[in-house]
Amino acid sequence: MNAIGTEGTKMTGIIGAGRMAQAVGSIAVKAGHQVMLSNSRRPKRSGVSAIGCEVGTVDDVAAFGEMLIAPIHLQLLSANPATPLKKKAALNPQNSFPHLGPVPELDSVEFATAKVLPRLLPGSKW
């Protein structure tokens, strides 16, 4: 499937299916985007289809989306495969959550969150 739908609709992939992912997905659908959500727990179709989103795997979302949004905890982002996200525009509206473990670059104040994201998913466009 192309990043632009058959009617010129923008295709937005969201890695995650929690409250933030569903809120962003709902807004994107209302703005005319086709949206696909995914997370490691396989979101139930009923929850996301109610807001007009499709459901897929992380690989499906990466192939589907012209733009990718990853509203998941920074510490969990590295668990997603980097290869399907290469050359994709990606956004992560999250910050570090200390209770999920350390992020050495952030803890040492070596980098801000925006500098850590490209290191976790090399080849994507942040």
pLDDT of residue 6: 47
The percentage of residues in the chain with a pLDDT greater than 90, rounded to a whole number, is 13
Q: How far apart are CA 70 and CA 39, in angstroms?
A: 10
Average pLDDT of the residues in 51-57: 87
Q: Of 69, 60, 113, nearest to 89 (Cα)?
A: 69
**63-106 pLDDT tens trace:** 898 888 887 777 766 666 566 667 777 777 766 677 777 777 77
The angle formed by the CA atoms of residues 43, 86 and 96, to the nearest 5 degrees, is 60
Q: Of 67, 117, 119, nearest to 88 (Cα)?
A: 67
The percentage of residues in the chain with a pLDDT greater than 70, rounded to a whole number, is 60
- For the chain, give the mean pLDDT: 75
Whether residue 18 is predicted with pLDDT greater than 70 in this model: the reply is: yes
User: What dihedral angle (degrees, nearest 10) is formed by the CA atoms of 41, 49, 30, 85?
Assistant: 40
Average pLDDT of the residues in 51-70: 86
Q: Of 88, 65, 54, nearest to 4 (Cα)?
A: 65
Give the position of tokens 């086709």: 34
Whether residue 111 is predicted with pLDDT greater than 50 in this model: the reply is: yes
- Joined together, the tokens standing for residue 104 give 């050495």
